[in-house]
Structure 1
Amino acid sequence: MKRLLLALATAASLGLGLGLPLPAAALDPATTTASDQNYLARVPYQTYFADYLALRKGREAEIIFIGDSITEQFRWGSGASVWNRRFEQRAFDFGLGADRTQHVLWRLDNFDLSFLKPKVAVIMIGTNNVNNEAEDTAAGIKAVIAATQKKFAGVKVVVVSILPNSRAEQRMAEVNKLVAPLADNKTIWYLNLAARFTPEGDNWKGLSGDKLHLTTAGYTMWADELEALLAVVQK
């Protein structure tokens, strides 16, 4: 961890970028683990996560949520009231803003999460892989699943569909079609949330004004659907 924080400070002093979406030509394949330089350049995000990790160190969690800002904001953003009531005592939020599959792979490789001992991993990732082709993003999600299973022996995985995304709605729908068949209902389950977030006029139900992040109602929908599935997964 000292090495990580030193690298964060170095990245900050160099004025490196904040991990915003890159042009397609600059993107690594979605299955590639982000380089240390690419990951550590995103200083505000990583500093925030290091603080949260230190706060939770030593506390086991029955469930780990893995993802990007949509997952991260479940804990402190629009989803906080839902999280505090339904997941705070039994879950760890491994979501981080702006993450693509490449960044999640880096975090799974580099953070010590052995204290968690989760029984279930809930993975929602891919919406920031907006410039990757659908097949590549789906392969990246598959790589995240494999890395999660490797890190947490015996963990059961719930893969959540990418939600409607105004930046690339058709491409995200294509990714979901490719990811759904990964479920075997033994070690991997698929939760199709996208079907619940249906358009209402100019907006998708459950999404905020940016047509990407969730409202409190959206997080409630996610929690309801997830808990119904967890009743099956955790039998």
Structure 2
Amino acid sequence: MARLAAGPAPEAVALGDSLAAGWPEPDLAAATGLTTRNLGLPGDRVQTTRWRLAAMAAFPLRPRLAVLMVGTNSFADGDAPEVIVAGLADLVAALRAAWAPPVIVLASVPWRAAPPGRSEADRLALNAVIGDLARMQALRLLDCDAAFRPDPATGLDADRLHLNARGYASLSAALASLLRTG
């Protein structure tokens, strides 16, 4: 919470898991053109991001933009796509109630090494329902699969889950493009 109390109020915020937390603030600021605060936290699942938002809602922020990048841990833990998307819908509602950002970007779950019991088809099915949620909720969808073409593995660290500098550069370019055209 100290990150919210320190310095000027951000015009953009990023929320989510380790993939969000690892996104360098200077890259986010360059992609958005706004002062940005990265509020991602490694290990977050969809519901823990929502709980953290409830605690942060006391801070009177009014960001113009929020980027949500969360879901890979819920996916890896075996949550059904419908459960993850219902949690994302609740998170979006809580975000709108707390800070009312006029623009919300929802990121799909990027390619990763398949966790035990999950397949690439499972991840693609999850991303399809995330895309449906984005359309139904008037969110902008950051399509991580498109951002990392042609070879998503080149944007990943050796653990085949977390993004490397090249991955964040690709994601930042895709976010900048999305915001310019959206």
* TM category, shorter: 0.7 to 0.9
Q: Distance in 1 between matches of 2:99 and 2:160?
A: 33
On the 8 A contact 1:199/1:205 being kept in 2, the answer is: no
- The structure in which a higher percent of residues are helix is 2
- Alignment: residue pair count: 176
Q: Is the 8 A contact 1:198 1:204 kept in 2?
A: no
* 4, 10, 13: which one aligns with 1:64: 13
Per the TM alignment, residue 86 of structure 1 is displaced from its structure 2 partner at its CA by 5.2
Partner of 1:207: 156
Cα separation, 1, equivalents of 2:23 and 2:161: 14
SS in 2 for 1:95: coil
Distance 2:106 2:8 in 1: 24
TM-score normalised over the length of structure 2 = 0.83
Closer/same/farther in 2, CA of residues 208 and 139 from structure 1, 3 Å limit? same
Q: Which residue of 1 aligns with 2:72?
A: 127
Q: RMSD across aligned C-alpha pairs, in angstroms?
A: 2.5
Q: Which has the larger radius of gyration?
A: 1
What is the Cα deviation at residue 123 of structure 1?
0.8
The 2-side partners of 1:83 and 1:123 are apart by 12
Structure 2 unaligned blocks of 5 or more: none
1:197 aligns with 2:166: no
Amino acid at match of 1:68: D
Superposed CA offset, 1:97-137 (max 9, x none): 00001101101111246343101111111000022112211
The runs of at least 4 aligned residues of structure 1 exceeding 2 Å deviation read 50-54, 80-89, 112-116, 168-172, 182-187, 195-200
Give the percent of matched residue pairs that are identical in Structure 1 and Structure 2. Answer: 28
Higher relative CO (Cα under 8 Å, sequence separation at least 6) belongs to 2
Calculate the TM-score normalised by the size of structure 1: 0.66
Map Cα deviations across residues 18-65 of structure 1 (whole Å, 9 max, x no partner): xxxxxxxxxxxxxxxxxxxxxxxxxxxxxxxx44334x3x51212111
**5+ residue gaps in structure 1?**
1-49
Question: What is residue 59 of structure 2 aligned with on the other side?
Answer: 114
